[in-house]
Structure 1
Amino acid sequence: MLVSLNWLREFVPYEGEIQALGDKLTMLGLELEGIEDPFEQVQDIVIGHVVECEKHPEAEKLSVCTVDVGEAETLTIVCGAPNVGKGQKVPVAKVGTVMPEGMKIKKAKLRGIKSFGMICSERELGFSEDHDGIWVLDDSFKVGEKLVDALNLERTVFDFDITPNRADCLSILGFARETALAFDLPLTMPELNLVEAGGNAADDIKILIDDPELCPAYHARIIRNVETRKSPDWMRFKLLSLGQRPISNIVDVTNYVMFELGQPQHAFDLDLIEDATIRVAPATEGMKFTTLDDMERTLTSNDLLIWDGKKPVALAGVMGGANSEMTDKSTNVLLEAAVFRPGTVRKTARRLALPSDASYRFERGVDQQLTRFCQDRAAQLMAETSGGQVVSGVVSNEPKPWNDRQHGYRHARCMSLLGLDLEPAFAKKVFEGEGCTVDDSNADNWTVGSPSHRLDLEREVDLYEEVGRVFGLDQIPAVLPKVAKRMDGKVASETEYGFLKNIKEWGAGAGLNEAINYSFVGDEDLDRLNLPADERVAIANPLSADQNVLRTALAPGLLNTLKNNLAQGNNHVRIFEVAKRFVADSESETETREFGRLGLLMHGPRHATEWPWEAGDVDYLDVKGHVEHLVVNHLKLDEPTFALAEEHAYLEPCVEVSLGEKQIGLIGKVKTDIADFYHAKKDVWMAELQLDVLREIVDAHKIVFEPLPVFPPSRRDVTVIGPSTLPAQAIREAIANAGVKILESVELVAEFVPEGQEEERNLSFRLTYRDPKKTLKDKQVDKEHKKVLAALEKNLPIRF
């Protein structure tokens, strides 16, 4: 939002430092992005007086002018404008001046005569599109004075960033209110001196509104016998200072009042309105409408239109129609001032890619109670600048009048939340300075009525924010909050956050790298992995086709991470991701269910470097080992069981991982054709565990602590020779089932396959014996150890 300092001073008498004003408004929440000089490009243009003007002897269309620019010597300037003449005051660009278009004025020789400058037109200076001749200035201007000073042009314009909730600050008036509040200055509204010429506007037009929710208020005034012409300089210069291109007096007035007071308005050619009717109603699906920019738009039933008795004439709150615009031949004006539902205007402007200054304000909300004043102000200016007459009366249809809003305010609670100790009088002064009404008869709970221009004041806490904002949020002392923690409350590790943090710490400790991927994927990603379409949740407004649905599995993101790593030359990939998958569910309040997941992906050589490690690529045992380590060693749960699954969408083979009767996840190798798409030259092994189920098991699992053993252990090693097909686990189970009570643990410590005898292998086990009540003697240990060996020989096809 651009704010002219001189225009602001017409509302509030601020005479302080320019930067101090910007800094203060920034601390009030209106962030200053910069301070500009809108007429910097013409600051070197001076006022010149044409002393002599004669025809060029060698060119009929050129004139040789002697121009006084307030220096010791006059300048000779060759000019091609048809309206240049002796005695005129004109803008002059001297040699060395850089014009707005970037051209630098140099000494020139035109048809044999030297020229030392240029007499400028309005178009060459960027003031208008008029290029029929030079700009002839008022004769009262002083020769040699700079043009920007002679015209009293604005030299200071603030550029503020306005948050969406502060619709009241999209005008000079809005900033004047904030300035008056910040510096305790009086606020002066523009003087209204509307002269009506008689008649009755209600006899010339009627207003119909189909849906009051879409248009709470619509007002119309009529101005007759207008002359469309150039706006007066003071109006044009103000609009130019805000970057607005002047068009004509009628259009410029609507823009002027919009920037001044914040109310967008539209001027229709009354003679083009059929059946003397204005109707506010939605468009019909698929209808065509041509806007002022001569572009044909295809509308939907969600777009709101302004109709006359037979046809649409404007897109409500966005842009007028080409079939009712004001032209040079228009003589009668229908001036519209209305209030439209912000959401409707916003959706239409976004869908049609048709942003405008008007829609920008309607999208955020306008001051319904100020609408009539703004319309009277515009009608007055139109009459003054065009010579027209304002027909008496206003035609209004206001099916939803503005209702004042009342809020409770508890000063003690406000001070508690802000951490301040201010007198109630300060809060009352703030509210009244913002235009609120205050009833403080109940000292503990005031009643505060918010004004119609402050649409953001919706509840009590908004009033607290206003007190803090005006006091200065930067002035509130920093104090550490008091934290009360019950001893019987949950510790952080028992919360969902603590559980997920624990899983991530395990992943990092296990040597895996954490991947963080978008929750958005494309249909193509899920189709490639053969994932069902009926589970997908579509994104309403996707950024691209590659991110148009929520992921139903972690695999797409992990595989894309693998692809990116391979493209960068990293073949040793060990990644994990803790995230959510999303599944469509029509019975859910959000129509979506979320499930916590842990995804693992391993690819490439087992070790990052070959030497001194044994060469080889990761396989099923690597992924299985990580899953077992997480479940058993880290989470302290029972050992999981693994069973081959019959079929899976993207894993082959696929193994189901279970704890008791609950399935907790899957392990498998990515199908070859899918892995090839992600440029994987070696096997890609993945696991996806259900964190929600794991957490339930962890919460229900009670860890029991046993006292440390007091008496020393006694260990025996045994090497078992058996078939290569005999699992080591079977041997361990047979040892455990031998019925020896003092046997504490069994560990596999070595494997040896004799050369040329691959049908057999040697497995070495270490058996630990301990008695919890006494120290064991070798004789007793040897006796129990023989029982174990005998049980092994009896139950298994082995020898020692």
Structure 2
Amino acid sequence: MLVPLSWLREFVPYQGTAQELGDRLTMLGLELEGITNPFAGLEPIVVGHVQQCGKHPEADKLSVCRVDVGNEVLDIVCGAPNVRQGLKVAVVKVGTTLPNGLTIKKATLRGAPSCGMICSEDELGLSDEHDGIMELPQHLTPGQPLLEALGLDTEVLDISITPNRGDCLSILGIARETALAFSLPLTLPEAKLVETDQPAADAVSIHIEAPELCPMYAARVLENAPSAKSPDWLRYRLHAAGVRAISNHVDVTNYIMLELGQPLHAFDLETVRGAAIHVRGADQDEKFTTLDNKTHTLNPADITIRDAERIVALGGVMGGLNSEITDKSSRVLLECARFNPSNIRRTARRLAQHSEASYRFERGVDQLNADYVLNRAASLMAELSGGTVRKGIVKAEPKPWQAPAITLRRQRAVDLLGVDMPTAFCESTLTTLGCRLQAGPAAQTANVACPEIWQVTPPSYRHDLACEADLIEELVRVYGVDNIPPVLPGIIKPLEDTGKPEPAHAFRTRIKHWACGLGLNEAVNYSFVSHKELDFLGQPAEGRISIMNPLSDEQNVLRTHLAAGLLQNLRTNIAQGANGVRLFEVATSFVAAPQTETTAQESTRLAVLLYGNRFDGAWPQTQAEHDYQDIKGIVEHLARHLHLPALSWKQETVAPWLAPGVGIYAGETCIGYAGRVKPALADAFHAKKPVWLAELFLDVLYTMHLTQRIRFAPMPTFPAVRRDITFMCPHGLEVGAVLACIQSQKLPLLADVKLIDLFEPKGGEERNLTFRLTFRHSEKTLQDAEVDKMRDMAVSRVCKELGVRV
């Protein structure tokens, strides 16, 4: 919303700076985007007085002028047909750059010197008019800056309006907030309306056939009001607010929309057949051509304004080409209405026909202000065109505005905000906001020690005030969020929750804390990826869920896994010079499931990505790189953290982007997969080193975790005895097979067994696997003979069953 400061000051006597105002409005929830000067390019332009003007001796279409610019008189050659002696003009001196980028230089035109330029409105960027130079009022002083002479708006605040504050999409709305912020009086512009004796109802009638689409429709009628060019003050003010001037009637409707927030539309009354307006939904597949000469196919949900025979406007969106104001128009039907916001939003979006009017109708307008808006607009139109206004307003209002009644408890506001809200402050703030307060029934029966309770009726322009929380929000934004001290709330866990299963959200939070504690960095990605990415990773097309209205082609499908997002994160980190990347993400994946209510099956997953250096420049291991043992160790560490049974790893085809890849099992249950990203795929993400990736099914882990029961055992008091044994095994024998063979014997003294070394002789057909067996007795110190006996039993069984030797 562009707000010229001088226009705002016509409503409130604010004397501070634009920046101070913007800062205060920002704290009230209306964020200041910036402060601009839409006429900054005109600062060097001055007023000139043409003292002499004669024909150029060498060119019939050129004139040689002597122009007084205050401190000097300049010789200027001008080609405009309307230049003449005694004219006040806009002059650009030598060395000045115009808004269109043209720099004025001293020149000689057909032998005559020219030391400046007399400008047209087009050259100054004020309008599209270029038929002649700009003629200024005679009372102006030569040498006076043009900005000052024309009273142009040089300070314009660009304020971001949140979707719920449709009331602030106007100068009046911002003025209300300014008056609230600085305790200033608010003054509305006067509607100086003079009516004739002819009733407006004799010229047109209004019939609303769909009250659910249009609760109110009102109109005024102007006679003998020819369409013409708007005066300078109106055109320049619209320009400062970002609106192009067209003609007096159209410009007034835009001016009132910006000033009061109510979109209006002007019809040529001569084109309205049957002297009647009908408001109803369109017929199915009905065609209509709007002002921009586009033909649209409508449906019954679209609001149409019709005369006795045809559509003349698309309600709340745009007028029709068949009833527009033209240069020949002199009878005007001025419309002011309130339409159903949801219908306007759907129509504008479906037809891609968004406008300043639809933007405001979608957020709701002030139905009770319709009469004032019509009077204000009609008086301006009559003043600018010399026309007359018929007596009265023609109105149909099948659904009058009914304000909600909201109960507000002062103590509730105190409890929610944690600060005391004095009674006087609450009453003063709500009254200034336009609310009506009455003592509620509960307050009337309470004694004086009880907190106050009010029945609050919000004003008709505040559609966002619908419940008690909305009113409390108004109190706190006026009080100042920055004035509320930061205090951490107390967290109370009820005793009845003791022993209950850990909630899924708490489980996911614990997983994140575990990953951060392990040195991994969290990544947060959109749930949207592209079909192109999934195709590149080899993901099958089955099961994908496409987005009907994607934000872009890069986000047109829901992710089926987390790998795509993490690989994009990897690319970004490598581009920033990262030598080692350790990422994790806890997020949801989506697979099509037509049999479900949502047609999508969602599953929560944990993905871990490792790349490059294992340590961040830690001497002497700066060159050590992540490998399979790192990704495997992280997964096993999580399993121990969740008290899951020992994991098994099976090499299999688990994901088309991994080679090799392994499935991860806890017992017979698959809990995820891990492996190395295919080098060709990794290279596309600028990875020059191996990329290791694991993706775990958190929903499965959560279910398994809930079933685990922690059992406690006393700490061992007697020392352990360790024996190392090396098996010479064929290359095809897996380490897991040896471990399983040893553990399956369930030797009573065997406490642990693990691989501690692997050696592959060059050119040999075997490899040497060294295991460490740990023996312990809970009640005594073991003797060597007992340990050797257990070790020999384990070795003998392995050699016999697996065909290895020691």
Task: Choose which of 700, 709, 718 in structure 1 pairs with 2:707.
Answer: 700
The alignment partner of 1:191 has SS state of: coil
Retained in 2: the 8 A contact 1:218–1:337? yes
Shift of 1:429: 0.9
Retained in 1: the 8 A contact 2:754–2:771? yes
1:310 aligns with 2:318: no
1:469 aligns with 2:477: yes
Q: Deviations over 1:264-294 (max 9, x none)?
A: 1111111122333333344556655433233
What amino acid sits opposite 2:15 in the alignment?
A: E
Aligned to 1:402: 401
1:523 aligns with 2:522: no
Q: How do 1:590-605 and structure 2 match up within 5 A?
A: 590-599=598-607
Shift of 1:447: 1.0
The alignment partner of 1:199 has SS state of: strand
The alignment partner of 1:451 has SS state of: coil
Aligned to 2:29: 29
Q: Which moved more, 1:298-307 or 1:566-575?
A: 566-575
1:544 aligns with 2:543: no
Q: Which moved more, 1:713-722 or 1:341-350?
A: 713-722
Shift of 1:798: 7.2
CA distance in 1, matches of 2:768, 2:77: 110
Q: Which moved more, 1:27-36 or 1:456-465?
A: 27-36
Shift of 1:297: 4.5
Shift of 1:433: 1.0
1:164 aligns with 2:163: yes
Shift of 1:659: 3.0
CA distance in 1, matches of 2:111, 2:21: 55
What amino acid sits opposite 2:483 in the alignment?
A: Q
Aligned to 1:14: 14
Change (3 A) 1:656 1:251: same
Change (3 A) 1:516 1:450: closer
1:774 aligns with 2:772: no
What amino acid sits opposite 1:360 in the alignment?
A: Y
What amino acid sits opposite 1:472 in the alignment?
A: G
Change (3 A) 1:383 1:697: same
The alignment partner of 1:535 has SS state of: coil
CA distance in 2, matches of 1:294, 1:647: 57
Change (3 A) 1:327 1:797: closer
CA distance in 2, matches of 1:114, 1:752: 96
Shift of 1:539: 1.9
Retained in 1: the 8 A contact 2:423–2:452? no
Shift of 1:50: 3.9
Q: Which moved more, 1:732-741 or 1:107-116?
A: 732-741
Shift of 1:44: 4.2
Percentage of matched positions with identical amino acids? 52
CA distance in 2, matches of 1:796, 1:86: 115
Q: Which moved more, 1:85-94 or 1:449-458?
A: 85-94
Aligned to 1:214: 213
CA distance in 2, matches of 1:586, 1:44: 68
Structure 2's unaligned 5+ residue stretches are 444-450
Shift of 1:126: 4.0
Q: Which moved more, 1:413-422 or 1:643-652?
A: 643-652
Change (3 A) 1:653 1:128: closer
Q: Deviations over 1:662-719 (max 9, x none)?
A: 3323467889999999999999986543211112212221222322222233445566
Retained in 1: the 8 A contact 2:107–2:114? yes
What amino acid sits opposite 2:781 in the alignment?
A: T
Aligned to 1:245: 244
Shift of 1:190: 1.8
Retained in 2: the 8 A contact 1:631–1:638? no
Change (3 A) 1:652 1:388: same
Q: Which moved more, 1:109-118 or 1:317-326?
A: 109-118
The alignment partner of 2:197 has SS state of: coil
The alignment partner of 1:202 has SS state of: helix
The alignment partner of 1:401 has SS state of: coil
Shift of 1:366: 1.4
What amino acid sits opposite 1:269 in the alignment?
A: D
Change (3 A) 1:485 1:231: same
Retained in 2: the 8 A contact 1:492–1:498? no
Retained in 2: the 8 A contact 1:598–1:688? yes
Q: Deviations over 1:77-120 (max 9, x none)?
A: 44444444444444444445544434344444444443444444
CA distance in 1, matches of 2:786, 2:531: 69
Q: Which moved more, 1:651-660 or 1:442-451?
A: 651-660
The alignment partner of 2:336 has SS state of: strand
Q: Which moved more, 1:448-457 or 1:76-85?
A: 76-85
CA distance in 2, matches of 1:752, 1:123: 85
What amino acid sits opposite 2:437 in the alignment?
A: V
CA distance in 1, matches of 2:616, 2:26: 54
Retained in 2: the 8 A contact 1:631–1:640? no
Q: Which moved more, 1:330-339 or 1:773-782?
A: 773-782
The alignment partner of 1:230 has SS state of: coil
Change (3 A) 1:395 1:666: same
Aligned to 1:448: 456
Aligned to 1:638: 645
Q: Which moved more, 1:489-498 or 1:401-410?
A: 489-498
Aligned to 1:42: 42
Change (3 A) 1:90 1:712: closer
CA distance in 1, matches of 2:40, 2:756: 85
CA distance in 2, matches of 1:793, 1:23: 81
Change (3 A) 1:586 1:392: farther
Q: Deviations over 1:371-415 (max 9, x none)?
A: 221112111221222122222333323233211122121122223
What amino acid sits opposite 2:357 in the alignment?
A: A
Retained in 2: the 8 A contact 1:210–1:280? yes
Q: How do 1:216-615 and structure 2 match up within 5 A?
A: 216-283=215-282, 288-297=287-296, 303-440=302-439, 442=443, 444-484=452-492, 496=504, 499-500=507-508, 503=511, 517-526=525-534, 535-557=543-565, 577-585=585-593, 590-599=598-607
CA distance in 2, matches of 1:492, 1:353: 52
RMSD of aligned alpha carbons: 4.6
Retained in 1: the 8 A contact 2:658–2:677? yes
CA distance in 2, matches of 1:722, 1:145: 100
Equivalent pairs, count: 794
Retained in 2: the 8 A contact 1:12–1:180? yes
Retained in 1: the 8 A contact 2:636–2:647? no
Retained in 2: the 8 A contact 1:201–1:392? yes
Shift of 1:446: 0.7
Q: How do 1:789-800 and structure 2 match up within 5 A?
A: none
Retained in 2: the 8 A contact 1:506–1:630? no
Retained in 2: the 8 A contact 1:623–1:667? no
Retained in 1: the 8 A contact 2:404–2:457? yes
Aligned to 2:180: 181
CA distance in 2, matches of 1:385, 1:412: 54
TM-score for the superposition, normalised by structure 1? 0.84
The alignment partner of 1:371 has SS state of: helix
Shift of 1:316: 2.5
